[in-house]
Each structure stands twice: as structure tokens, then as C-alpha cells.
Amino acid sequence: MYLISFLLLFSLLAGLAIAAAPSVGVQARRIRFSVGALALASVVLALLHAHSGPEFYALSEGLAHVLDWLFMLGGLGLAVLLLYFCRRIKGYEWYIPALIVVQTGLMLYAELSSEHPRVEHAFYVDSFSVLMALIIAIVGGLICVHAIRYMHDYHAHAAGQHEAGDLDRSQQRPERSRSLFFFMLFLFLAAMFGIVFANNLLWLFFFWEVTTLCSFWLISYSRTDEAIRNGFRALGFNLIGGVSFAAAIVWLTHGPGLRTWELDQLVAGGSALALIPAVLIAVAGLSKSAQMPFSSWLLGAMVAPTPVSALLHSSTMVKAGVFILIKLSPVFHDTFAGLLLSLIGGLTFLVTSLVAVNQRNAKLVLAYSTIANLGLIVMCAGVGTAATMWAAILLILFHAVAKALLFLAVGTTEHLIGSRDIEDMEGLVYRRPAIAAMLLVGMLGMFLAPFGMLLGKYTCFQAFLSMDVMWGDGVLLAVILAFGSAPTLFFWSKWMGKLVAMPRHAQPSEVPIPRDEAIALVALTLLTYVACALFPLADTAFVIPYTDFLASLGLIPASNLAMPWETITLMSLMLAGLFLMPLAFWLRPPHFTEVSGYLSGANVDGSASYRGAMGVERVVESRGYYLSGFIREGTMVRVGLFGCGSLMLVMLMGAVL
Amino acid sequence: MKPYAWSLAFAFILVGPLLGALLAGVDRRLTARMQSRKGPPILQPIYDVLKLFEKDTLVVTQLQTLYLWGFLFFMVIAGFILFLGSDLLLSLFALTVSGIFLCLAAYATNSPYSNIGSSRELMLMMAYEPMLIMVPLGFFLVTGSFRVSDIIAGSPWQVLQLLGILVGFLFVLTIKLRKSPFDLSSSHHGHQELVQGMTTDLSGSDLAIVEIGHWYENVILLGWLYLFFAPWGPWIALPISFVLFFAEVLVDNTNARLKWSSTLKASWLMTGVFGVTNLLLLPVIS
């Protein structure tokens, strides 16, 4: 209990202290210190709660009452603040203030009702939320550390200076927007802690809306027109989810059937009682985790500074969406609503994996792959067996670490080489070996055996084929997964191919990676490795206790998830191979004669040009394949939006009728 | 885990390439006969590779050798898992990793020809991957397990139940063996638009690694084919698999090369028509 309140309050206070820092140097020190403290607290929490079932905490009557009022006032304050921001909307964005008003009205209608359900346990800790807290504190924290230097350069760049970071600048007062920026980052973390630990649905909703606010503010950070429009789009889409969440709370207050404001009671209601509110909350989860038809807000979020994208894509925001879906997953078990939810995830996975092949912009590739991976997690959540929940939780873990690494590495690369175009990253292994190695580890972590994501896919296949809602459902999901994985393979390998290519021209680049960025990147690289090597540990400490508890309540069918030792041995063998081969290569490199590549003519300038048939010197150029004629992005996206939109409507109507 | 499974797995590591070389040798002889030539001795592939080891190795970058090690390592692992009687899906994943390492080696040399070759190879992987995944899925639905040892001990009717999957698998086997009409990533004949595709800038011992890797790969694919007929026992299953395997040579010699887009469309269509339909109909058949 104390640790939870520490995590929540400390990140809030740290945010304030950082925003109030008198100089850039002090601000940086405070950020590093706060991140360290948060990481330490989350590790202590993990050590105390790993391997054990959930614990629920009741608050004293008086405190609960005060907090109830505070949260209600906070919710109102939030609504007023959002309405204030809405002064800059354009005509066609009229729906945003409307949604704010509707949502606040719904919440007040629920909160002020005379006979509302009593909340016994306001907070809880279980092994899943502990794992989430670890991800939020450590991955999120590292992103904040990376942001210290990144924002420094970002502002210097905006102010037209060439390179910032000299000592005297660290004495300066930080710009107001930058202080507010870091405050928002820590507020974001605090809200995330709130989401994973709150059992009171109203409070959870408040934290939920705080993340919406933070993401809106952070996306619009650069104040360009594009950034502001994209920020409003994110706000609008998330508010649709918010209204749906609020409707679920109203249903749980006034509706027939189940009346409760507690998350665990809602889940315990099972599909017979809790399906309607669960479906409503699932819509909120879909919007937050950027599934189609809501996906475009996450793509628009790219305009924000890279640490923001990294935060939104890896440890916060989208993870809040899938977190709530996995929490509700037992309710969806063996229902048509669950199958429809899985299909929404599946269609999103398929479409975005295909569209990602088209992209040349590294951040867009990452964004589409995030949406695709979240789609996979949603697929698992909709099935709702122990095996799929197991897979979903592991996917969250591996995705958070690898995606944070990739985003930050792309951000740093962009600062170093001045481009985020994949084609411009040719030969990065030779030009910037360290950053290229990190990118490669991140990519391997995203899709290749023996790394974690593949493990998740493996379990998904097994779990889907054991499904039994209707004829052919599991096969359908497994086929979607098979077809969606193929383009994933293509676009990642293509990008890796660019990185490992021998550059045609020497492109010396001496600028070192700034220290704070290097710390964050190296730590995340190690985390990716460690998470993969020690996944059985994460498995027994965090995932199995959670699914076992749900099974003991009879909410999901019990099953034995233990991986056969043989599989684990083989996976470890592969991981060891991936580690030892470069080591052996480095210790005993073969010495072969180096020549320039074959160009079907006499090479003139290394591999860069050759003497062609008519004696003319020809410069060599070759580019990657993007299949833009084969996979038409516009058509694919339309199919996805329409398909997922109708699936969602059917899911809502099916649940209500 | 029975001891003979271990011995089979280790036998694969040691004898696998020899068997693969013999397969390649027979393949060349058959091809030659179809073209009214006499053809090289059966052991010619082994002589070729031994000669490659004698030659100087020229590289564009030293790192390409590292990627080729990765290619060979994961190929051996894939076969090891398969012949151990362990998890078929895991074996497939290892096979995929191995394929990607080969592409990385080709990308690393960065000549336009190897670039196109490896891009096409990735495209081919995208084409055959879904169908290859259908195979373990089909076996899982029939036997309730991804384990090779359970599949071998399965019902003798499984090949009939999985007939559609077998057809689809034979289709993508042509791609996997880099046979015409799908040999668009690496050409075995010089002087074409692709030169030698992925292997353009690989020479000497590097090229030998690629050859050995392919030998392993052919044995693994033959093993996959064998699995369909495995419950009938080796005396029936082995000849059938050999016949089907070498039927690919006939396909190779009677077809012209396709473009990548047609390949992709054709193989996804085949996967949908034969693989997916078969999976959906399985509850009805069994």
C-alpha cells in the first residue's frame, strides 16, 4: 500500500519539483534522481509481490470519502481544462467539446446518484500490475532520462543554434515549455501507476482521462499547426473511448444486473453479468491502444518529439489500453463479443503489418508495427484463456522494452545523421556501430526467434487452435496471425538489410552519442537481452501467479502453462548462439581479402561507380523494395477502418441486445 | 526423450550434409537426363564444395562471414529440433531465422545484384511463410501436438486429412528449394539479369557455407515431407517422400521463371485455397 502511494505521489511531486527547477543542470539532476527512485521503488515492489496472489487494500472511511471528493473535483477540473484547450479547435472538430460535456455529464450522473455501489477496496496489487509498474517505472523512466538531452538539442535546434550542451547552458533557466514538458511526462507516469493499481473504477477512469490529457498536450508540444491538429485528433478519439468508459460506469451504477464500482467485482461477474460494461470499456481500451478504427491518432502522434513517441508507444498510453483489455479478458472468454474483439485485433494486425511494408520513414514503420503488435495482444485478450493471457502479458513486456529501444535509437540516429529515412540508414553498422547494434537488437527482439515476441506468437497459435466459440474461429485467428506475420518478417529484415549493408561511400561521423541518451539506450538494450534470457523467471514470478489466481476463482479454465524444459533449453541454445557467435567472431576474426562488390563492369570508385559498356562512368544506386504498387496503403487502410468499425458496432450491438 | 531420438538428432548434424549433397547430386543427374545430357557424378556437389574450401575467399566486408555463420547455425538448430522429435513450430521459427541471416549476408555485400537477390528472397519468404505455418497447425489439429514424435505416432489417415495442406506444402516446397518457376532470388545459371542473385559476392569458403547450409535445408525439407506419411512407417513413407521430392526436379525443368508479384499472389492463393480450406474442414473430416 505504502509503495503504491509512494509510486503515485512521488512521480507527481517529482514532476512538480522538476518543473520548478531553477536551472537546466538542476533539472537534469532531479530527473535522474527521480527516475532512479521510481525504478528502485518498483523493483522493491516487485520483490515483495512477485510470486504471490493479489492483495486488496481498503481505505478508512474518512480518507475514502475525502479522496472520492478530490477525484470528483479532479475530474471536473480536468474537463474544464480540456474545454479551455478546446478554444483552439477548428469548425469540424466541434465534436471534441461535445464529447467532453457528454462524458462529464455521464460521470456526474453516476457519481451524484443517491444509491451508488460502495467501494470496499480502492486499490490492489497483483503480479500483473507489478509487472506493468516495472515497465512503467523502468522503461518509462529511461525514456525520461533520454529526453533530458534530447529536449536540450530539440530546443537548441528550434532556436537555430547548432549544437547545445556546453557547460554554461546548464546554468540557464529552462524554458517554461520544457519544464512543463517534463512535468507532463511524470504526470503521465503517475497516471499510469494509478491505472494499474486502482480498483475503484471511478478513480481508474480519472487516471485514464489524465493520460488522455497528457498525450494531447505532449503531441501538440511543438505548437505547429500539424501538431495541434494531431493532438486534437488524439484527444477526440480517446474521448470517444472515454465516453464509452463513462457509459460503462453509468451502467454499473444504474443498470439492471451487476452494480459495482470495483474492477475485481466486475471481472468476477463473468460473461453472464459483466459483458455489457466490459464491452463498453473494451471500446475505450481499443481507442487508447490505437486499434482500427481509431489507429490514426497514434500515427499522428509522430509529430511529437521522439521521447514522447517512445513513451506513448512502449510503456504508457497504448499499454494502458491493452492492460484494461487483458484485465477484462476473463469476461470475454467463450463469448461472441470476445471473438469479435479478437477479430478487430486480428484485422488491425494484418492490415497494419501489410501497410508497414510501404513505409520509408523509420518512425512510421515503428508506429505501424506498434499498432500491429497491440492488435496481436488484443487478439489474445479477446480469447480469454489462461494461455492467451499468458501470451498477451509476455507480449506487453517484450514489446515495451524492444519498442522503447527502437524509438529512442531512431531518435538518436536522427540527431546523428539528420534523417529518419530508412534508405539514409544504409551502412549504419559501419558508420555508427554502437547505435546500429542497438537497433539490430531491438529488431531481433521484435520478431525473431529466440526472442520474446516469437514466443508469444507460438503460444497464440496453440491457444487459438484450442478455442471453441464457433466453428472455425480459432483457425481463422491462427490464419490471420500466419498471414500477418509474413509481411512483418519482410519489413524488419529489409530494414536490417539496410543497416548491415557496406556503405558505398565513407561517411565519417564523429559526433559522440550524448551521455544521457547512451545510458538509456544501453540500459534498454541490456533489458531486451535480459528479458529474453530470463523470461522463464518473469513467467513464474509475474504471469503464472496471475493466471493461476483467476483460474482458482473459476474465471478462466485452469491449464498447465509450464513450458517444457526441452523448449526452454533449445531457446536458450539459440540465444546463446546469437551471443557467442559475434563474440567468437570478434576474438578470432577470419582474415579474408576485401574487394569491392560486383558491378558487372570495371569498378572505378570502390563499389560506388563502375565503367559501363560505352566507357562511361556510372554511379551505382539501389534501393529497398516497398511494394507500393502491390500493397496499396490507401485501400488497405480503408478496408481496415471499415472492417474494424463494423466489427466494433456489431460487438456493441450484440452485447446490448 | 528416447536415446535414439538424440542419436538421430546428432546423426543429422554429422550425416545431414552428406545426405543433402547426395540429394543435390541426384538432382543434377536427373536434370541432366531430362535435358538429354549425361550429367556429373553423384558426388560432384561434394567435390565442388571441397574445391571451394581450397580457393581464396574474397569478401566485400568481413562481417558477411559472421552472418553466414548465423545462417548455418540456425539451419543446424532447425534440423536438430526436427530430428530430435521436438517442436515442429519451433523448428520452423529457427529455419526462418536462418533464412534471414542469409539475406543479411547478401545485403551486407551491397552489390546491386545481391541487393535485388536478397529483396526477392525476402519476398519469397513472405510468400511461403504462411503456408509453412499451416503445416504445423494442421498437424496440431490432427494430433493435438506440435511435437514431431507425436506426429510420427499419429493416425495413418492423417495424410488424407491433411491432403490440402500437403498440396500447398508441395507448392511452396518448389519455392523453398529455389526451383524454377520460383528461382528468382538466386540463379543457378549465369549471365542473367540477376547474375547470381544473393550469392553474387560470396566466394570461396563463404560460398561453401551457403552450399552446406542448403544441403542441410534440403534434408530438413525432406524430413517435413516425410512427416505427412510417417505413421505408415519408413519403408512406405521414405520412398513416397523421395518420389515427391524429386518430382520438384521435373517442375524445375518444365517451367519458366515467374515474376515476384505473380509468385506472391500464386502462393498466397494456394495457401488460402488449399491450406486454409483444409484447416477449416478438418473438424468435418475427422
Q: Is the pLDDT of residue A168 over 60?
A: no
Supply the pLDDT for residue A170: 64
Among A303-307, A603-607, B146-150, the range scoring the smallest mean pLDDT is: A603-607
Residues B152-164 have pLDDT tens digits of 888 888 888 899 9
**With 60 as the cut, is the pLDDT of residue A299 above it?**
yes
Residue B3: is its pLDDT beyond 80?
A: no
Span B50-58, mean pLDDT?
91
Which of A485, A581, A597 has its CB closest to that of B60?
A597
**What is the rounded distance in angstroms from the CA atom of residue B56 to the CA atom of residue B246?**
34
Reported as a pLDDT band with limits 50, 70 and 90, residue B45 is very high
How close, in Å, is residue B36 to chain A by CA atoms? 32
Q: Which three cell numbers stand for residue A172?
A: 540557464
Chain B contact for A13 (CB, 8 A cutoff): no
B236: left (phi over 0), alpha (psi -120 to 50) or beta: alpha
Q: What confidence score (pLDDT) does residue B46 get? A: 95
A382, A341 contact by CB (below 8 A): yes
> What pLDDT, in 10s, does the model give residues A573-632?
888 888 899 899 999 888 888 888 888 778 887 777 888 778 888 888 888 888 888 888
Of A393, A320, A344, which is closest to residue A550 (Cα–Cα)? A393
Q: Compute the average pLDDT of residues B265-272.
A: 92
Give the side-chain half-sphere CA count within 13 A for A638.
5
- Beta bridge partners, A645, equal none
A–B CB contacts, 8 A cutoff, strictly below: 192
User: Which cell numbers hold the place of B107?
Assistant: 545485403
Question: Taking a contact as any Cβ pair under 8 Å apart, which residues of chain A between 419 and 448 contact chain B?
Answer: 426-427, 429-430, 448
Q: By the 8 A CB rule, do B254 and B181 touch?
A: no
Beta bridge partners, A125, equal A55
> How much is the pLDDT for A165?
47
Report CB contact under 8 Å: A573, B77.
yes
Any residues with CB less than 8 A from the CB of A180 and at least 6 apart, and which?
Answer: A19
Q: What are the φ/ψ torsions at residue A155 (nearest 5 degrees)?
A: -70, -40
For B84-109, how does the pLDDT look when each residue is reduced to its tens digit (9 = 90+)?
A: 988 899 999 999 999 999 999 999 98
pLDDT band per the 50, 70, 90 thresholds, residue A349:
very high
What DSSP element (H or E) covers A55?
strand A55-57
What share of chain A in percent tops pLDDT 70?
96
Euclidean distance between the first and the last CA atom of chain A, given in angstroms as a whole number: 41
* Residue ranges in A358-472 assigned as alpha helix (H): 362-383, 386-417, 428-431, 433-447, 452-465
Half-sphere exposure of A324 (CA within 13 A, CB side): 34
The mean pLDDT of chain B is: 88
In chain B, at which residue ranges do the beta strands (DSSP E only) sit? Answer: 58-59
What is the rounded CA–CA span in Å between residue B230 and residue B220? Answer: 14
Nearest-CB residue to A494 (from B66, B97, B122): B122
Query: Nearest chain A Cα to B276, which residue?
Result: A479
Are the Cβ atoms of B67 and A500 closer than 8 angstroms? yes
Q: Is the dihedral of CA A509, A512, A513, A519 positive or negative?
A: positive
**pLDDT surpasses 90 at A186:** yes
For residue A163, pLDDT beyond 60: no
Please state the rounded mean pLDDT for residues A61-67: 88
In a domain, A523, yes or no: yes
The model's pLDDT over A529-588, given as tens digits with 9 standing for 90+, comes to: 888 878 778 888 888 888 888 888 878 777 766 667 788 888 888 888 888 998 999 998
A199: nearest Cα among A288, A256, A272, A118: A118
| Chain B interface mutation, best of A428, A431, A441, A475, highest count of B Cβ atoms under 10 Å | A475
- From the list B194, B163, B234, B219, the residue with the least C-alpha distance to B19 is B219
pLDDT at B20: 94
Q: Is A253 a domain residue?
A: no
Contact A347, A424 (CB under 8 A): no
Query: Is B110 close to A502, i.e. CB distance below 8 A?
Result: yes
Among B52, B110, B273, the strongest candidate for a mutation testing the A interface, having the largest count of A CBs within 10 A, is B110
Whether the predicted pLDDT of A167 surpasses 60: no
- pLDDT of the residue at B72: 95
For A598, which of B89, B111, B123 is closest by C-beta distance?
B111
The contacts of residue B254 (CB under 8 Å, 6+ apart) are: none
Question: CA of A580: which chain B residue's CA is closest?
Answer: B70
Q: What pLDDT does residue B48 have?
A: 93
Among candidate residues B81, B74, B99, the one with its CA nearest the CA of residue B136: B81
Tell me whether residues A595 and B59 touch, CB distance under 8 A.
yes
Checking if the pLDDT of A164 tops 50, the result is: no
Whether residue B95 contacts residue B128, with contact meaning beta carbons closer than 8 Å, is answered with no
Angle in degrees, 0-180, between the axes of helices A386-417 and A362-383, rounded to the nearest 10:
170
Which three three-digit cell numbers place residue A189? 507516469
Residue B14 reports pLDDT greater than 90:
yes
Look at A581 and B66 and tell me if their CB atoms are within 8 Å: yes
Task: Provide the sign of the torsion angle of the four alpha carbons B232, B234, B235, B239, taken in this order.
Answer: positive
Instruction: State yes or no: pLDDT of B188 exceeds 80.
Output: no
Q: Which residues are within 8 A (CB) of A41 and not within 5 positions of it... i.e. 6 or more apart?
A: A3, A6, A7, A10, A137
Nearest to B123 by CA among B275, B238, B274, B266: B266
pLDDT of residue B163: 92
Residue A262 lies in a domain: no
A554 in contact with B, Cβ within 8 Å? no
Does residue A26 belong to any structural domain of this protein?
yes
User: Among the listed ranges A131-140, A288-297, A504-513, B165-174, which one has the minimum average pLDDT value?
Assistant: A504-513
Cα B224 from Cα B241, distance rounded (Å): 9
Overall average pLDDT of the B169-183 stretch: 86
Domain span at residue B240 reads 3-285
A162: its cell numbers: 547548432
For residues A190 and A336, state if they share a domain: no
**CA dihedral of residues A206, A210, A216, A220 (deg, nearest 10):** 160
ipTM of the complex: 0.93
pLDDT at A455 over 60: yes
Return all residues near A471 (Cβ < 8 A) that are at least 6 apart: B283
A500/B104 touch (CB, cutoff 8 Å), yes or no: yes
CB atoms within 10 A of CB A490: 23
Cα distance from A11 to chain B (closest Cα, Å)?
41
CA dihedral A295, A300, A304, A307 (to 10 degrees): 30
A475–B114: do the CB atoms touch at under 8 Å?
Answer: no
| Closest partner CB to A501 (pick from B108, B133, B140) | B108
- The answer for residues whose C-beta is within 8 angstroms of residue A312's C-beta and 6 or more apart is A215, A218, A219, A298, A301, A304, A318
- Beta-carbon contacts of B121 under 8 Å, excluding residues fewer than 6 positions away, are B99, B102, B103, B106, B185, B186, B197, B198
Minimal-distance CA residue of chain B relative to A631: B261
Measured between beta carbons, the chain A residues lying within 8 angstroms of B119 are: 494, 497, 624-625
Domain hosting residue A22, numbered range = 1-58+120-162+173-195
Percent of chain B with pLDDT over 90: 52
pLDDT at A314 exceeding the cut of 60: yes
Cβ of A449 within 8 Å of Cβ of B123? The answer is no
For B236-263, what is the mean pLDDT? 87
Please state, in angstroms and rounded to a whole number, the distance separating the CA atoms of residues B186 and B179.
10
Say how far apart CA B271 and CA B128 lie, in whole Å. 8
What whole-number distance in Å separates Cα of residue A645 and Cα of residue B61?
A: 50
Decide if A594 is inside a domain: no
Cβ <8 Å between A502 and B108: yes
Model pLDDT, residue A61:
86
The cell for A273 is 453479468
How many domains, chain A?
2
Closest C-alpha among A331, A248, A336, A234 to residue A287:
A234
- The rounded mean pLDDT for chain A is 86
Comparing A186-190, A287-291, B178-182, B273-277, the range with the smallest average pLDDT is B178-182
Residue A583 located in a structural domain: yes
Give the count of domains, chain B: 1
Question: In terms of C-beta density within 10 A (0-12 exposed, 13-18 middle, 19 or more buried), how is residue B188 classed?
Answer: middle
Q: Does A114 touch chain B (CB under 8 A)?
A: no
Residue A468: Cβ-neighbour burial (10 angstroms; 0-12, 13-18, 19+): exposed
What does the pLDDT average to over B129-139? 93
At A627 the pLDDT is 85
